[in-house]
């Protein structure tokens, strides 16, 4: 290894983080994303504007110059993404060249290439007319910035077999309806049902409910076939919608599970649990992120849940003053154990990731995990003692909770 390689790798790692990783709190990555989104939108707007003869006549040259600048940005972006490709976790094991080749074949990189290659071809071979509207493919570059679009892609990929079955069902119904109508009324209405292609157009229009191509069945059997076709149309189109809807639900549940699973690892109380209990726990915990300043618990309100801090900080307003709880601590257990009202107000000091355990699940979980139950009770006991001690006017400076929380007033 030469002396310069580690530095190169660090710079490439950072560039990968900015370009590809897109962490929510990485300012550089967010600025770059917004810049690229702005360039894409401006470029697509420019391309559409250029199709207007008046605008083209007045600003044609400026728009062309702007288009070339945008393409330069897209080309630099493409080269930078190719450079950082070996940092991709899924391509780590490959050599840099193979990692880049693999990366270049991913759908988003193909779209990125289409954003600038046609113009390069135009410049290299003047006179060859490339379709100007292929530039609108650049709009697809926005897909990278829409996690929801990526979710749709994953859902469609996961449900591809069920969706293929739908296509086969719809095709089968369409053909059966067309064949029936062609047989019954083909001779009566040869212009519209005289051959299978015409009859298929009729059945497709009926199934999609865009009307029957202005065709009214002339016979009773024809009317029955048309009515059945319309009803089957509802079934045929409801099916893929239901499949995609269920796929979305599953995808979101899967993502919640992964997020919750990762958060559970931040709470030491759960460290002694075996894999099966953790998986049960992940099923009943809900992940919630609260911004700074949010009141999570209000004193004297009834208790409905307990909270674990996966990251961030909260303040508990006690009689001795504010007490800070941090990552790994928990709160909200006292009202659930005593079935009385909340003993203090708890507020987020900064953006805080919480795991929420509902009251019923709390009691069930403690019954099933007596060791954890004993620890939670011990902490609650100590907190109660601290609060009682404080309210009876004892020395305030000695207040420390068993969870390691420190009084802020110290
Ligand atoms: P609960 O009474 O349900 O709601 C307020 C929560 O604040 C309480 O449960 C405890 O989890 C927490 N709390 C109350 N007193 C203290 C204390 N002295 N130290 C740390 N946390 C406390």
Q: How many CB atoms lie within 10 A of CB 300?
A: 11
- Which residue's C-alpha comes closest to atom 9 of ligand 1? 332
Q: Which of 296, 308, 287, 396 is nearest to 342 (CA)?
A: 296
What does the pLDDT read at residue 181?
Answer: 94
Question: Looking at residue 18, what DSSP letter applies?
Answer: I
What are the tens digits of pLDDT across the range 256-269?
777 788 888 888 88
* C-alpha 262 to ligand 1 mean position (Å): 25
User: Does residue 346 sit in helix, strand or coil?
Assistant: strand
Atom number of ligand 1 nearest to Cα 330: 11
pLDDT at residue 348 tops 90? yes
Question: Looking at residue 146, what DSSP letter applies?
Answer: -
* C-alpha 398 to ligand 1 mean position (Å): 17
Q: Which of 346, 385, 389 to mutate to test the pocket of ligand 1 (most atoms within 8 A of CB)?
A: 346
What does the pLDDT read at residue 291?
Answer: 93
pLDDT at residue 21 tops 70? no
pLDDT at residue 320 tops 80? yes
Q: Which residue has the higher pLDDT, 237 or 126?
A: 237
Token match 């917004």: residue?
Answer: 34
* C-alpha 338 to ligand 1 mean position (Å): 12
What are the tens digits of pLDDT across the range 2-12?
444 445 568 88
pLDDT at residue 29 tops 70? yes
What is the average per-residue pLDDT within 243-266? 83
pLDDT at residue 140 tops 90? no
Q: Which tokens hold the place of 76?
A: 């630099």
pLDDT level of residue 250 (50, 70, 90 thresholds): confident
Q: Which of 315, 316, 392 to mutate to test the pocket of ligand 1 (most atoms within 8 A of CB)?
A: 316
pLDDT at residue 123 tops 90? no
What does the pLDDT read at residue 384?
Answer: 93
What is the C-alpha to C-alpha distance for residues 329 and 336, in angstroms, rounded to an integer?
Answer: 16
* C-alpha 332 to ligand 1 mean position (Å): 6
Burial class (CB in 10 A: 0-12, 13-18, 19+), 144: buried
- Which residue's C-alpha comes closest to atom 17 of ligand 1? 383
* C-alpha 279 to ligand 1 mean position (Å): 27
What does the pLDDT read at residue 237?
Answer: 85
What is the average per-residue pLDDT within 320-349? 94
Are 362 and 294 in contact by the 8 Å Cβ rule? The answer is no
What does the pLDDT read at residue 1?
Answer: 40
What is the average per-residue pLDDT within 123-152? 74
What is the C-alpha to C-alpha distance for residues 260 and 103, in angstroms, rounded to an integer?
Answer: 30
pLDDT level of residue 220 (50, 70, 90 thresholds): very high
Q: Which tokens hold the place of 338?
A: 């005593």
What are the tens digits of pLDDT across the range 282-317?
888 888 889 999 999 999 999 999 999 988 999 999
Residues in the chain: 410
**Which of 22-31, 320-329, 384-393 is predicted with the least confidence, judged by mean pLDDT?**
22-31
- Which residue's C-alpha comes closest to atom 11 of ligand 1? 331
pLDDT level of residue 216 (50, 70, 90 thresholds): confident
What is the average per-residue pLDDT within 364-371? 90
Are 229 and 208 in contact by the 8 Å Cβ rule? The answer is no
Are 347 and 314 in contact by the 8 Å Cβ rule? The answer is yes
Q: How many CB atoms lie within 10 A of CB 57?
A: 8
Atom number of ligand 1 nearest to Cα 341: 2
pLDDT at residue 394 tops 90? no
The sign one gets for the Cα dihedral 387, 391, 392, 393 is positive
**Which of 181-190, 231-240, 319-328, 388-397 is predicted with the least confidence, judged by mean pLDDT?**
388-397
User: Does residue 406 sit in helix, strand or coil?
Assistant: strand
What are the tens digits of pLDDT across the range 36-68?
999 999 998 998 898 889 998 999 899 989 999
pLDDT level of residue 129 (50, 70, 90 thresholds): low
Q: Which tokens hold the place of 286?
A: 């809900």
What is the average per-residue pLDDT within 131-149? 77
- Ligand 1 shell residues, CB under 6 Å: 297, 303, 316, 318, 323, 331-335, 342-344, 346, 383, 386-387, 401, 405
* C-alpha 323 to ligand 1 mean position (Å): 9
Contacts by residues 227-236 (CB-CB < 8 Å, ≥ 24 positions apart): 228/177, 229/173, 229/177, 229/181, 229/203, 230/206, 232/173, 232/177, 232/207, 233/206, 233/207, 233/208, 233/209, 236/166, 236/169, 236/170, 236/173, 236/207
Atom number of ligand 1 nearest to Cα 306: 3
Are 167 and 161 in contact by the 8 Å Cβ rule? The answer is no
Q: Which residue has the higher pLDDT, 409 or 129?
A: 129
What does the pLDDT read at residue 41?
Answer: 93
DSSP letters spanning 368-394: H-HHHHHHHHHHHHHHHHHHHHHHTT-
Q: Which of 354, 383, 396, 398 to mutate to test the pocket of ligand 1 (most atoms within 8 A of CB)?
A: 383
Mean pLDDT computed over every residue of the chain: 85
Can you state the angle between helices 275-284 and 220-264, rounded to 10 degrees?
120
Q: Which of 320, 323, 343 to mutate to test the pocket of ligand 1 (most atoms within 8 A of CB)?
A: 343
DSSP letters spanning 276-331: HHHHHHHHH-EEEEE-TT-EEE-TTSBP-EEEEEEESEEEEEETTEEEEEETT-EE
**Which of 170-179, 308-317, 329-338, 392-401 is predicted with the least confidence, judged by mean pLDDT?**
392-401
Task: Write down the H helix ranges in 17-84.
Answer: 27-50, 53-84
**Which of 66-70, 147-151, 177-181, 336-340 is predicted with the least confidence, judged by mean pLDDT?**
147-151
pLDDT at residue 395 tops 80? no
Are 354 and 310 in contact by the 8 Å Cβ rule? The answer is yes
Q: Which tokens hold the place of 334?
A: 């006292």
pLDDT at residue 378 tops 70? yes
pLDDT at residue 232 tops 70? yes
What is the C-alpha to C-alpha distance for residues 337 and 376, in angstroms, rounded to an integer?
Answer: 9
DSSP letters spanning 89-105: GGGTTS-HHHHHHHHHT
């Amino acid at each position: 290894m030469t002396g310069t390689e580690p530095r190169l790798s660090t710079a490439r790692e950072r560039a990968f983080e900015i370009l590809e990783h897109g962490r929510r709190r990485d300012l550089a990555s967010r600025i770059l994303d917004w810049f690229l989104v702005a360039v894409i939108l401006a470029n697509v707007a420019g391309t559409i504007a250029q199709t207007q003869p008046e605008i083209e006549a007045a600003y044609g040259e400026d728009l062309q110059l702007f288009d070339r600048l945008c393409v330069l940005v897209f080309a630099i972006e493409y080269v930078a993404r190719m450079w950082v490709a070996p940092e991709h976790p899924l391509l780590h094991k490959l050599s840099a060249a193979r990692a880049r080749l693999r990366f270049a074949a991913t759908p988003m990189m193909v779209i990125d290439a289409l954003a600038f290659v046609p113009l390069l071809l135009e410049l290299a071979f003047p006179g060859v007319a490339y379709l100007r509207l292929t530039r609108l493919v650049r709009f697809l570059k926005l897909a990278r910035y829409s996690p929801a679009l990526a979710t749709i892609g994953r859902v469609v990929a996961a449900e591809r077999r069920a969706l293929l079955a739908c296509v086969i069902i719809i095709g089968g119904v369409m053909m059966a309806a067309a064949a029936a109508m062609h047989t019954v009324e083909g001779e009566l209405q040869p212009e519209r049902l005289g051959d299978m292609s015409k009859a298929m157009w009729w059945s497709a229009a009926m199934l999609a409910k865009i009307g029957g191509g202005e065709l009214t069945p002339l016979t009773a059997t024809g009317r029955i076939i048309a009515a059945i076709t319309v009803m089957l149309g509802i079934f045929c189109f409801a099916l893929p919608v239901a499949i995609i809807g269920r796929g979305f639900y599953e995808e979101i549940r899967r993502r919640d599970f992964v997020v919750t699973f990762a958060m559970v690892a931040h709470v030491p109380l759960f460290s002694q649990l075996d894999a099966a209990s953790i998986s049960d726990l992940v099923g009943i915990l809900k992940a919630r992120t609260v911004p700074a300043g949010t009141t999570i618990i209000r004193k004297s309100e009834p208790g409905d849940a307990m909270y674990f801090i996966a990251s961030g900080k909260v303040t508990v307003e006690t009689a001795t003053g504010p007490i800070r709880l941090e990552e790994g601590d928990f709160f909200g257990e006292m009202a659930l154990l005593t079935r009385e009202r909340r003993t203090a107000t708890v507020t987020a000091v900064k953006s805080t990731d919480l795991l929420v355990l509902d009251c019923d699940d709390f009691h069930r979980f403690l019954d099933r995990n007596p060791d954890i139950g004993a620890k939670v009770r011990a902490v609650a006991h100590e907190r109660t003692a601290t609060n009682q001690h404080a309210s009876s006017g004892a020395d305030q400076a000695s207040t420390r909770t068993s969870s390691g929380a420190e009084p802020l007033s110290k």
